[in-house]
Each structure stands twice: as C-alpha cells, then as structure tokens.
Structure 1
Amino acid sequence: MLILLIFSVEKANAQSRTKVDFGSDWEFRREENANSNWEKVTIPHTAKIEPLVVNNQFQGTSWYQKKFKVGDFKSKKVFLYFEGVMQEADVWINDQKVTNHKGGYLPFTVDATPFLKTNKENLIKVKVNNEDNPEFLPGKPLKDLDFNYYGGIYRNVYLVKTNKLYITNAVHANKKASGGIYVNFEKINKDQADGSIQVHLKNEFSGNKKALLKFILTDNEGEKSEFLSKAFSVKANSDNVITQNITVSNPKLWSISKPNLYHLEVQLFSNNKIIDSYSEKVGIRKSELKEDGYYLNDEKLYITGTNEHQEYPYVGYAISDEAQYRDAVKIKNAGFDFVRLSHYPHAEAFLNACDELGILVMNSLTGWQFFGNETFQKNAIKDIRDMARRDRNHPSIIFWEASLNETQMSENFMKEASKALKEELPFPHNYSASWIDNANYDLFIPARQHAKAPDYWTKYSKGNRKIFIAEYGDWEYYAQNAGFNQKEFSNLKEDERTSRQLRSNGEKRLLQQAYNFQEAANSNRKGAQTIGEANWVMFDYNRGYSNDLESSGISDIFRIPKFAYSFYQSQRNADVVLDSKLVSGPMVQIANYWTGNSPLDVTVYSNCDEVALYLNDALVSKEKPFVNGNSDALQHPPFIFKLDKFVPGTLRAEGFIKGEKVVSNVVKTPESAMKIELSYDVSSKAINANSPDVVFVYAKITDANGTVIPTATNEVTFALSGENAELIGENPVKAEAGIATIILKTKNLNSPIMIKVSGANLESATLKIN
C-alpha cells in the first residue's frame, strides 16, 4: 500500500497554495484630511512624508481601503498577511469588523474567509493609528523616544489562498513551539546533520482527512534530499502536529563566509494530490557559547558587528524588500559579520538578506527605557512569542534579546520573558540576552557606557558568564566620560570630541569619530569574558526627542560612508573571500581629502602587512601598522604617515602582503567645482522591475577631473521624466560634503527613467535607468 501511495505522490498534480502581493490599488487618507479625496497608494506606504530632520513627526489615525475580488473559494481558505502596520490596526471586510492588532513591528494574519463574497467585489478597510500608547511596545511617548515609529501599512501585505486542510502560519496559530513549520538541527558535524521538521496542520473540513507529508531539501547546487512521512489523519475542525526526523549527509554548513542555504519545500498530500505546500530557506549551522567563548561550526569567533535602525530619510520605515537587502549588503561590506536589530524586530526581507549574506543577528524585542503596567508586560511577553515564532528558522539569528533595552525590568518580568522564549525555542543553543546581568538570561549584553572608564568591561568576571558589548563608541564619548586620551584631546571642543559627526563636519572630526571607534573596539578585545561587540551605529537616524540627526553612524542617513566605515572594513582579514557581490580581500583607503586644510598626519586604513604612501609619485615612506595602547588588540591597526607640508596633487597608497603589492588607493587635491556626476546605489540588488522600489540617487559636485569637492554645498535641482517613478526629498537641495542626495521611488521599470540634475555654474548631468 505504501509503495503505491509513494508512486501516486510522485505522479500527483500540484493543487497548492497561492501567495500574491496585495500591495497595489489601495486608497489612503489621514483622518485629519477626512474631507479630502482618497489618494491612490501602493503598500509599503508611510502615513506622511517627513522632512530630513523629523521635528514634528505625524502621529494620528490613517485609513486605507481596497476593493478586490477573490474568485471562487469553495473548499478554500483566504488569508491576508500583514508583515507590519504601525502601530495599532483595526480591519474591516465588507463592513464587518475582523480584527484588532496592537504593535507595529510584528505580523498578523486575517482569516478573511467568513467575510468574503464569492466572485463579487469585496472591500477591506484598515484603520491605522500610531499615537503614543503606554499599553503596548515600545510604550514610551515619541517625544521621549530614541527612535521614531512612522505610521502606515509600512511592510508588505499578501493574499494567501489554501485548501481547508492546510499548513498554518506560525504566529497566527498561537501555539507554543508550534504552528507553521519549525526546523531544527541539533547533531551537526561535517559528515552528518540530524534534525527535525515539525509541521502544524489544521483541518477545517467537516470530515476527517487522511494525508501525508513530503519534505524536499535542496542545496545551492541543486542536490535534493527527500523524506516522506507516514500516512496520518486529521480530525474534522481540528489540528495536528507531524514531526519528521531527517538526516542530511555531508551537510553544507551555513557560516559567515559561506552562508550555504537549503530550500525546504513541504508538500501536503491528500487523495494523491498536493493540496498545500510551503517553502522557505533554511540553514544548517552549529552555534555555541562555550567556557572560552563563542563558536560557530566548532570554530571560535570574536563577533564584530554593528547596530542598525531600519529607517530611510523622508519615507521612514516604508521601504522595499530590495532596499532592506541593500542595507544588509552595506553592513557586510563594512567589515561586519553581525547586526543587532535596534530596538525592535526588523523586516522579514532584512533577515532573509542576513541569511543569504552571512550576517549573524541578535533579534530584539521592541523597547527602550520604558516599563509599563501589567497590560504592557503581557503584550511584551506576547511579542517575545510572536518574534520567536516568526523568526525561529533563520540560521542567521544566534541571540534573542528577550528584554527591554535600557529598562529597569522587574525580576518577575525577566523570569517570564526568558521562560516564554525558552518555551518557544525549546532546543539547545537558543540563547537569550539582556542588558541586565541576570541569571534568567544566557548572555549579558551591556553597552560600553554602562561601566566606567578606563576599564569598562575588560575586568568583568563572573564565573564563566559571557558578555557581548551591545553598544559602544558613541555615548561614552558624547557624555564626555570616556576614552584613555582625555588629556591628549583636552584642546578639543565638545562637538569635536564626540562620535556624533556629520559628513559635513570635515576631516578632523570624522577622523576623531573613527579614532573613538578604534579606541573602544581595541579596549573591548581586552576583556577575557567578551565574545564580541556591536558598535553604535551603522547609519545616522532620527529620534523622537531630538531636533537633529543622531550622527554617530559610520555612514550617513543616505548611506554614504564616513572615514570610520573604512576603519571597520580594514578589520576583516585580506584572505577572507566572500561572494562576488560583496566587498572582500585586500583593501587600503586614505582617510584624507588632501586639501590645504587637511591633517599632515595622514591616516591610512588597510588590512595589508605594509603600506607605501606616495605624494605626486614620490615615496613618502613605507610603513607597518601603527601599534600603541589604542591599537594593540586590533586585527589591523591603522597606518600613520607624517608629511612636512601640504603640496597639492595626488596621494597614492599601495598595500603590500608578503612583499607583494596587492591593492592601491588614490586621493587627489580637489580643484574648482565644474560639473555634476550622477549615480544611483543598488548595492548588488537591481531595481525591482515589476514592483515599487526605492534607491538613493547621488549628485556629486566634482572638478574637471571628477574629484569630489569635499567642502561643496552647491544647490542642485533634480528633474525626472518617466511616469513610472517619483523623486522624494528636498528639491532643490544643497550638497553636503560634495554630495546631494534624493530618493528615487519606482513603480516599475516598464520604460526607461531619465533623471537630470543641474546647478548654477555647474555642467549638468543626466542619468538613464533602464
């Protein structure tokens, strides 16, 4: 019988689920404009385009509506899956209230089936509110918060059709350590990986259903492993959990340099037909905290990473999946192998990108300096569960911050939070983390400023307890209580000493920012219990309580790198070879513009053994890394070259490994501003040809030779031709440190887009995007 059944399975025709983007053809208006016409919009969408520096962010109620048909759905289920709505959502279908969801950073599912009309037009309405609410996370009023929560249906929405016997959604099922698909590998070595795949099924037919499951695991070279469950039955209007043990021979392990992924497809058969299927990418990797540190696949690793706020200028959180991917690429290219999701769960597309690119992740509960009432605490525990259920299959996630950041939590809450996470992730090596040194958590994740100078956490010792420096490099310098060179820098003004530096602040202050990060990173590595670090922060961002940008990013809010970016990039070994779409290998970068006002002590960042510096083709010197008390623990200390005087022309740095020249970098003295050079950033992910996308367009003010003028503040005007796109941002806009930026939002690329930029006394430029 089983042989016949297997034969029938192989021959079966798929009648599986469908999942379609539900983001087009919506109408929108803010309640404050209730008398205005509905605006046609596409999801993801932000409730209001904000200025670059957000002083008075929109908070209030918005309405979204959409008319749609679903055809004949007899014997089918119809769900709407919302990835993220900021931050309270009420949903109606055909004027019937369907659900209320609280919390802006995690998904929810609407079972639309009972409310829909067959083969007729349906109407969905979504009321969205992002006003302060102390009863769910983050809870803290926006005016006091260290980040912004931008309103709108800002993440993707999908319409999902399934059979009435179907694989559930993990969050929607609301079952401990269950719902949907749960993949776990425990016994892992180079020869074999043993694991299990748990599938939660629901039968909404009025009769019992016999079924079986087929599991297809495909590696990145197309090699398949297939597993078949025993036949089973699911009772009418009931659910069932099937667990399949699997063994993968010679597994291709997921790592930071080779992030091998498997495509898992789970097929549900009944009556010899595929009636449902579900697929996602998974990875096999061994992540362990041991007495002497952190290990990935049995190799000890000091984790080097960053923090990221998931915010774009003007549009807030409402960005495309491709834009999420590009941010992850920038993090990896900066030399980082880790990101802490500050201070909330990020978009699913970002986590998928971390899986694909080999970026380790600390997933984080929404929160910052706020501990609410009993209702707030219950909602926090629910968010921990939903976060675990949504994200548990990502190989990139190694730590779970199941605590409220910089918040004085009660002992009981911490106990409940850790318990909830362990209940959802009952397998070994799922590590909980908290900024409070508490026995309920596996990992202590203080910020550097939570200890005192000059030792900070280097002398921390509590048994075998490990610590991860979750933030460093910003606040301790901003607050003027840090550093080992306060006397050396006593001549610096407060705004010169801080790590909060805009690109327009010039070389001296950008070098100070980079030095601050260097000094702190070097110190972190001297702590025996420290397993890794995440600097604050990757990109500049807005804060609810402040009327300026938080500018300690190693790139600005437009993702343009500062000198500190090159410092971190230099800390990745030259022999590390990453995927061709990423930056790796030998690097050398001159952190100097070489103008009459530039420092004569020239800093060069490189991962090479030696660097030679030339001025106008004359050798200045050939140096080894500059090692002192603030660089002696680094993988690759910077190189310092002392020049006697400024001579205009060309600086050229050449990097050598084992005596062989392997890389070079050139900086030229800028001359008079003459022209504009236009470019747009795709960071290895092309503009989506069919769906909305957002990319940065850069207008560089250059001299006749194409050298950017680092002090240029020329005002330029962008002009767009093409009906399938729009420009978002200040226009005209002044250049900052030689570069003016605007956002291009595309609807599709069915026809070319032309962008022209012009400015007074500058040769204009035109860019064509096909």
Structure 2
Amino acid sequence: MYWFKSGFILLLVFLMAVQQCFSQEKIRLINDWEFLKQDLGGIWEAVRPVGKGNPESVPLWEKVSLPHCFNAEDAVDPDVNYYQGPGWYRTLLDIKNPYSDGRTLLHFEGAGQKTEVYIYTTKVGAHVGGYDEWMVDVTKAVEEFKQTEVCKKQFGGKVPLSVRCDNSRDLEMIPSNLSDFTIYGGIYRYLNLVYTPSLSVDQLFAKAETDSSGKLGHLNVKARFYNPAGITSAMAELRLYDPSGKRVAVGNIRLSNFQDDMTIWDIPVKKPMLWSPSKPLLYTVETIITSSAGKFRQTEKIGFRNFEFAEKGPFFLNGQRLLLRGTHRHEDHAGVGQAMTEEMIRKEMVMMKEMGVNFIRLGHYQQSRIVLNLCDSLGILVWEEIPWCRGGLGGEVYKEQARRMLTNMIEQHFNHPSVIIWGLGNENDWPGDFPEFDKEKIRTFMKELNALSHRLDDSRKTAIRRCDFCSDIVDVYSPSIWAGWYRGVYTEYKQVSQEEFNKVKRFLHVEWGGDSHARRHSENPDKALNKITSGGGADERAGDASLYGGAARVSKDGDWSESYICNLIDWHLKEQENMPWLSGSAYWPFKDFATPVRPDNPVPYVNQKGVVERDFTKKESYYVFQSYWAAKPMVHIYGHSMPVRWGDQNEEKMIKVYSNCGQAELFLNGKSLGIKKRSADDFPAAGLRWSAVLQEGKNTVSVVAGNGKEVVKDSISFVYQTEKWGKPAKITLQKISEEDGIATLEVKLLDNKDVLCLDAANLVKFSLSGDGKLIDNQGTSSGSGKVQAYNGRVLIKVRLQKGRSVVGAASEGLPTVFVEL
C-alpha cells in the first residue's frame, strides 16, 4: 500500500507541475542531437554537407540527447581538471508552425555559461549566464533559410540549428570559479521549440495576497506582451479556478496598448483556500488573448498565503508560527552532472518532502522551473538566489550580469507561492578574483541589488549569507555557523546561534552540518572533539575547508564517518525544537555534489556533506532528519551500511534507533532488550538507544515501533569482530554479486594475519583492461575510480558487456591485485 501511495503522489506531483504551460504549443527538443567537445573554426564547420563514410569528416561528433552536460563525468574524474571551454550542439528542426504568420521561438530553460545560437550560418541570438531562462525568435531566419536551394536539396526541407555553449573561466562573470561547486557547461536544461501567434503573453505576473487573517484575498494580474507584428487591439479573458478545479471568477478586458507591463485583472477573492507546506493548495489563472493573430492561451499556478519574519523573532505563515525545516539543493547528479531530467528532479524533491523538509534554499543560482513547480505542489518554501558567490566584485560588465540575472529570476519565478526570499549573494566577504577588495563598493552594490529586488517584487524578503559587513542591508541575514565542523563543538550550537540572532533584525540559519564518507562508520565517532577548543566561535574562516594545517577542527581532524555526522545532526535538531525565537534553518546540502576545490576528499572533487549520495543512495543521516521532521511513522536502526562492528568480547555496545514514533522495542538475536519511550530532549537518538553485549560473528537486530495501532519495523544483520588488527599489509579483490550484466567488486584491506583492518582509510585506485567498463566517475563511495576505503573496504561496479575483462586494484605501499571477469 505504501508503494502505491508513493507512486500516486509522484503522478500527482508530475501532473500539477506540467500544468504550468509556457505557451500555446511547446515541444521539448530531446533527441537527434550531436555534440562536439571543442571549438570550431566557424559556424560553417557545423553545417557544411559531409558525405557518408567521408574520411575527411572531422572533427568527429557524438550522438547525445538533451539535457546534456559537458562535464557529466570529468567533474569528478580524480585524475583531470574538468573541461572548461566551448562545445557545440547541432540538430535538424522540422518547423511546422500551426499559426498563420505565427512566431517560432527557442526557449532555453538554462544553458552554461555563454551561449550562441545559429540557424544554418546566421547567428540569431546569444546569452550570458548559465541559470536563467531566455528566448530566441528564429522566425525570420527560418523563413529565409527555407527559401534557399540549400534547404531543399541538402537538408530535405529541415532547418539546421547549431548552439555553442562555453564555460571557460572569466573573471568578469558570475559565479566565481572560486565557488565551491562546478561551473558546468552545456545545454543542461530543457530546450523547447515554441509556436505562438504573433501576439502573445511574454510574461504574466500574478500577485496573490491575503490580509493577515487570511480571510480576504486579492489577485492582481499584470502582463507583458510579445507583439513583433505591431497588433493594436485584442481581447483578454481571464479565469480563476480554485484548487478543486471550480471556476470562481471571470474577467474580460479590451487591450489596445502593448508597450509596457499593464494590469489586466484586479479582483478581491473572498475566503481563499490558503497555501501551506501541509496543504499546498494551488489556484489556476487562465489567460486567453484573442486578436487578429489568433488565440493565445496560458495557465499559471498561484497560491494565496501571507508570511512574516518577525523582527527579533520567528517565522509566521498564515498567522501561525512555522519552524522552517530546510535543506539546500545543487543541480548535480551522478553520471549526468547538471543535466538532470525531470524524472530525476521529481524523485529528488519527493525524497526531500518525505524527509520532512518544508523549506529549501536553492544554492547558489536560479534553478529549473521544474524545481519551483514541484516546490509549489509539494509544499516547500523557497529561498532562491543569484550566483554572486565569492571572489569579490568585478566591473560594470560583471555588475550588469548580476542585475540582469536578479531581474530574470524574480520575473520568471514571480508567480510561485513557494518563494518567500530572493537571495542577493553568498559569501561576498570572500576575496580573490580581483586585486581590489573594497567593502564599501560591495556594500554599495548590495544596496543597489536590494533596492532592485524590492522594486521588482515588494511582496518577498531579501537575504544574503555570510557577509557580516552587509548584514544590515537585507531583510533577513544568515551568518556562518558550523558548530562541530569548521569551528567549535556541536554542543555550542544554541549559544552561538543566540549570539548571532541578537546582532541582526531577522535571523535565519542556512548552511550547517559536515562531511561524511558514505559507508564509513565509527565505534568512537566523537573522539576528535577532544582536540577542539570550545568558546572560540563556530564560523567558517579562511582555510578551514582545507584538510591540512591550521587550528584543530573536526573537518580536518575527524574521521568523516556517518556516525559522527548523525550525532552532530541529532544534536542540532534537538536544539532547534527548543529555540522558540528561531525562524528556522537549512542543512547544507541535501545531496553530495561536484566541486573543483576539494580534490583531496575521500571521494575526490565531491563535497560530501549531503544526506544522500550523488546517485540518491541514502546515508544514515537521512533517517535522523526523518525522526524529527517526517509526519509518516518511520523507524530505522543505525548501521544499515555497516556490515562489521568491532570491539572487545563482552563489551557493551550502544544500538541506536531513529524513529518519530512514541515508543520502540528492540530485539537482539531474537531476544527483547525492552521498550524505550521517545523523548526529543534525550540525546542521542531521542532516548531510543540500548546497551547490549554482541556475540562474536553474526548478529541480527530488529525493532518494532509505533503510535498505538500503527506499527513500523526495521531489521539489520552484521558481524561483530573482536579480533584485533595491525597495519594493512595486503588487499584482496573479488566479485561479490552480479545483476543485469553489472558485477559488483569488493576490495578489502587486511593485515599480515588476514584480519580486516576496520580503521583503514587507504586510497584505492581501480583499473580495467578488456571488454568491460568501470562504472566510475560517478562521484559516489561505490562509483569512483579512486576513493578512500571505508572501514577497510571499497566497492566498485563493472559493466561486463558480454566479454572478458581484468580489473586491478592498487593502494600505495601494498601489492596490486587483479581479478578476471
């Protein structure tokens, strides 16, 4: 029944998301593309006719589908710098515009980072910025090309489209290449072919508001028209439908001026059904424009709600205090880089909601319209920001890009009820791109962006994170607090937060947590805290992300185990439930992601702070969040990815259970260890922990938890090892499973007595010769060709491809081993 309900939720979310139509007719251009990962001598090289089998047809293009990213794998390849440069895409379009004298447009949902567009050899458009949407009208170029003999004889009436994307380094662009995320290249979001009549709505601004009581709503609709034909009159019909689909209002207006944004509807809405995370009720605004050019129809989803960040206080939604329980999202995934499909995005957002998230900061750039639609329909409040991130402040070209991207973000996502904050920057106190770092000039520009944001949208708040000398400019401020990771110990969290809260008018804590190497566990996870001096602050400072040098800190001196991060998260969540002045927080981030500034991490070039890996594999910490935030009953025994525990004979070991249920009963090898009641103040695991003596060899642990008649269960099995080990003396490599032509291999590090070295964190490197292919460059603990061991072992997968292969595993100072597949 659970899987049926989950499937139904996914279907419902999809249907609600796709209802927000862009225009009358939109076609995603997904298939039949070719890609070249280099530059061309000119556009002619992309379109010149080439005979089949011609040995001179160079360079060689590869077949791809969209969305597509240059850096799908090299972003996390441990042996190279990821590619930053130009790349080309080409395809043939079969243009069949159904409108008489209609317009044919290309709608880019996002492409990185500088883009040029060509119809045959004619340049028809260009854009700078990798994250906002943009349009190119190709009508004239298409019509002119279709009249040529080249179109008829060489292309069979189809139209060649070529797109050049470029993610080369450029100091006068945002985001900075000093940013802690990969600056991807490619057409990594959907590209759409759009047909419209020659008079259409370019942008619709539907402002839905309520009074503080929520009983009286108001809807104002403004429109910006696209009117290249110079049409002088039209009729607009507007309809408002409530969340059940019932039509509740209709309006008509004659239009005669299409020069500026104009109000086309302004109505009261009595007793609107309010949008909230628990009940994300969406209204629909339908706009029909009828003119001599034909009929244009567009629908937008909106929501009625009111919110307040109380000065020196918490957050209120629709008059009720709501603790913002948040996380962050980077557009990044194993095997595809930034080119996530709609299905991938939907799965990720549903996983967040099932974790209990009601708030998300979209870091550090405008994200896909798909994400915002899902936030609306799932009920997730949003902080969205522009990519003015690190590096300092550039010149006028730099600043103009920031202004343009802020304007585009606000206008393109104006109608989403989920959005409550427009972010103006991140870590703008971080110099490096320019010889000058002038705080006053940064303040001046931050004031300009703040004023621009409020001028474009006075209904949302502005915010920045970690730039103390600008904290007074924006409406909401988040300082740097990394208690127990970059500075301090995690038990200082509430005290440090209170101190920072007292410094600003409105406080919201985004970015906290720490890295964890998936599948690495510890029997003494907090031991690194003994080296840390408390009371020295909990902010992140220059050099703290480095794994070498500087003051003692858990990020450098800890074991990067899932065990430690679960404790850190557990403590933070416990404290947040007892901070009545707190507006909320957002854990950094939901999912591991690629970054060029962390080559020495256990998974190279990956920021490993996520609660899930880059391929959606859940870490143990995901369930800690669920135990505090999720509404659906759940229970999870810590250690599902910990096949071996260790200690002395007859030593008592703690077994932790994470659950949101009122009580739980634990069983060890079939024997009950008693019932515990959950108490959120009882750290760790909210009191759901048992001490037990494990037997040598295999142990089975199970738990039954519930609230009255509703019961949930979980169980795990593991080996308890009491035999001591020395230093790793050798490695073994063997196939442990095979499914659907994919073999899973496991490396083990053993001492000279063949005892598994459970604290071994050696770097292991894989190689393959033969017909198969390593499934590496995924940026995951089991999908990297070079990766640190977790408790003396490492996993890797091989696609066998119906042939023979030899796989090697090497670790410095140990004999290399091979296995034939």
Is the pair's TM-score, using the shorter chain for normalization, greater than 0.5?
A: yes
What displacement does 1:43 show? 1.6
1:566 equivalent among 579, 600, 623: 623
State how 1:125-204 maps to structure 2 within 5 Å.
Answer: 125-138=162-175, 140-141=176-177, 144-168=178-202, 170=203, 180-187=204-211, 191-204=215-228
Q: How many residues end up aligned between the 2 structures? A: 666
Report the secondary structure of 1:284's partner residue: coil
1:68 aligns with 2:88: no
Q: 1:225 maps to which residue?
A: 248
1:458 aligns with 2:510: no
Query: 2 CA distance for matches of 1:442 and 1:379?
Result: 23
What displacement does 1:355 show? 1.6
Query: 1 CA distance for matches of 2:720 and 2:802?
Result: 26
State how 1:245-284 maps to structure 2 within 5 Å.
Answer: 245-270=266-291, 275-284=295-304
Q: Which piece of structure 1 moves more, 72-81 or 182-191? A: 182-191
Q: 2:563 maps to which residue?
A: 511
Code of the aligned partner of 1:157: L
What displacement does 1:677 show? 7.6
Query: 1 CA distance for matches of 2:236 and 2:344?
Result: 39
Please say if residues 44 and 319 of structure 1, whose CA atoms lie closer than 8 Å, have aligned partners that are also in contact.
yes
Report the secondary structure of 2:353's partner residue: helix
Q: Structure 1: give runs of 5+ residues left out of the alignment.
A: 1-15, 171-179, 478-483, 577-583, 681-696, 702-709, 745-753, 761-770
2:329 equivalent among 308, 319, 326: 308
What displacement does 1:233 show? 1.8
Q: 2:476 maps to which residue?
A: 443
Q: 1:123 maps to which residue?
A: 160
Code of the aligned partner of 1:554: V
Query: 1 CA distance for matches of 2:703 and 2:327?
Result: 28
Query: 2 CA distance for matches of 1:356 and 1:742?
Result: 37
What displacement does 1:58 show? 0.7
State how 1:87-98 maps to structure 2 within 5 Å.
Answer: 87-98=113-124
Report the secondary structure of 1:91's partner residue: strand
1:473 aligns with 2:525: no
1:83 aligns with 2:117: no
Distance 1:202 1:542, change over 3 A: closer
Report the secondary structure of 2:286's partner residue: strand
Query: 2 CA distance for matches of 1:720 and 1:561?
Result: 31
What displacement does 1:103 show? 1.0
Distance 1:525 1:489, change over 3 A: farther
Report the secondary structure of 1:649's partner residue: strand
State how 1:710-729 maps to structure 2 within 5 Å.
Answer: none
Please say if residues 59 and 131 of structure 1, whose CA atoms lie closer than 8 Å, have aligned partners that are also in contact.
yes
Please say if residues 650 and 668 of structure 1, whose CA atoms lie closer than 8 Å, have aligned partners that are also in contact.
yes
Code of the aligned partner of 1:26: W
Query: 2 CA distance for matches of 1:586 and 1:47?
Result: 40
State how 1:469-618 maps to structure 2 within 5 Å.
Answer: 469-474=509-514, 489-490=530-531, 498=554, 509-524=561-576, 529-547=581-599, 548=604, 549-572=606-629, 576=631, 584-591=632-639, 593=642, 595-597=644-646, 600-618=653-671
Q: 1:705 maps to which residue?
A: none
Please say if residues 59 and 130 of structure 1, whose CA atoms lie closer than 8 Å, have aligned partners that are also in contact.
yes
Query: 1 CA distance for matches of 2:283 and 2:743?
Result: 37
Q: 2:716 maps to which residue?
A: 667
Distance 1:167 1:630, change over 3 A: same
Query: 1 CA distance for matches of 2:444 and 2:423?
Result: 17
Query: 1 CA distance for matches of 2:674 and 2:591?
Result: 35
Code of the aligned partner of 2:220: S
Q: 2:414 maps to which residue?
A: 392
Please say if residues 39 and 88 of structure 2, whose CA atoms lie closer than 8 Å, have aligned partners that are also in contact.
no
Code of the aligned partner of 2:199: L
Which digits, 9 at most, give the CA deviation of each residue in 1:672-720, with x for residues without a partner? 999648699xxxxxxxxxxxxxxxx99799xxxxxxxx99999999x99
Alpha-carbon RMSD across the aligned residues, in angstroms, is: 4.3
Distance 1:56 1:460, change over 3 A: closer
2:701 equivalent among 651, 672, 679: 651
Please say if residues 461 and 475 of structure 2, whose CA atoms lie closer than 8 Å, have aligned partners that are also in contact.
no
What displacement does 1:22 show? 2.4
Query: 2 CA distance for matches of 1:78 and 1:314?
Result: 33
Please say if residues 288 and 295 of structure 1, whose CA atoms lie closer than 8 Å, have aligned partners that are also in contact.
yes
Query: 2 CA distance for matches of 1:49 and 1:461?
Result: 41
1:112 equivalent among 106, 121, 138: 138
Distance 1:720 1:24, change over 3 A: farther
Report the secondary structure of 1:448's partner residue: coil
Report the secondary structure of 1:600's partner residue: strand
Distance 1:256 1:122, change over 3 A: same
State how 1:351-362 maps to structure 2 within 5 Å.
Answer: 351-362=372-383
Please say if residues 306 and 340 of structure 1, whose CA atoms lie closer than 8 Å, have aligned partners that are also in contact.
yes
Please say if residues 678 and 688 of structure 2, whose CA atoms lie closer than 8 Å, have aligned partners that are also in contact.
yes
Q: Which piece of structure 1 moves more, 417-426 or 305-314? A: 305-314
Distance 1:386 1:590, change over 3 A: same
Q: Which piece of structure 1 moves more, 18-27 or 355-364? A: 18-27
What displacement does 1:90 show? 1.6
Please say if residues 85 and 154 of structure 1, whose CA atoms lie closer than 8 Å, have aligned partners that are also in contact.
yes
TM-score by length of 2: 0.72
TM-score by length of 1: 0.76
What displacement does 1:82 show? 0.7
What displacement does 1:412 show? 0.6
Query: 2 CA distance for matches of 1:540 and 1:104?
Result: 21
Please say if residues 612 and 621 of structure 1, whose CA atoms lie closer than 8 Å, have aligned partners that are also in contact.
yes
Please say if residues 307 and 342 of structure 1, whose CA atoms lie closer than 8 Å, have aligned partners that are also in contact.
yes
Please say if residues 532 and 554 of structure 2, whose CA atoms lie closer than 8 Å, have aligned partners that are also in contact.
no
Report the secondary structure of 2:253's partner residue: coil
Please say if residues 22 and 158 of structure 1, whose CA atoms lie closer than 8 Å, have aligned partners that are also in contact.
yes
Q: 1:25 maps to which residue?
A: 32
Please say if residues 470 and 533 of structure 1, whose CA atoms lie closer than 8 Å, have aligned partners that are also in contact.
yes
Please say if residues 28 and 39 of structure 1, whose CA atoms lie closer than 8 Å, have aligned partners that are also in contact.
yes
Query: 1 CA distance for matches of 2:309 and 2:645?
Result: 51
Please say if residues 368 and 404 of structure 1, whose CA atoms lie closer than 8 Å, have aligned partners that are also in contact.
yes
Report the secondary structure of 1:512's partner residue: helix
Distance 1:398 1:716, change over 3 A: farther
Which digits, 9 at most, give the CA deviation of each residue in 1:540-578, with x for residues without a partner? 2221122122212111222211111111110025xx3xx
State how 1:296-335 maps to structure 2 within 5 Å.
Answer: 296-335=317-356
Query: 2 CA distance for matches of 1:397 and 1:628?
Result: 32
What displacement does 1:522 show? 3.8
What displacement does 1:191 show? 4.6
Code of the aligned partner of 1:518: D
State how 1:357-436 maps to structure 2 within 5 Å.
Answer: 357-371=378-392, 372-407=394-429, 410-427=442-459, 429-436=460-467
What displacement does 1:415 show? 0.5
Distance 1:90 1:464, change over 3 A: closer
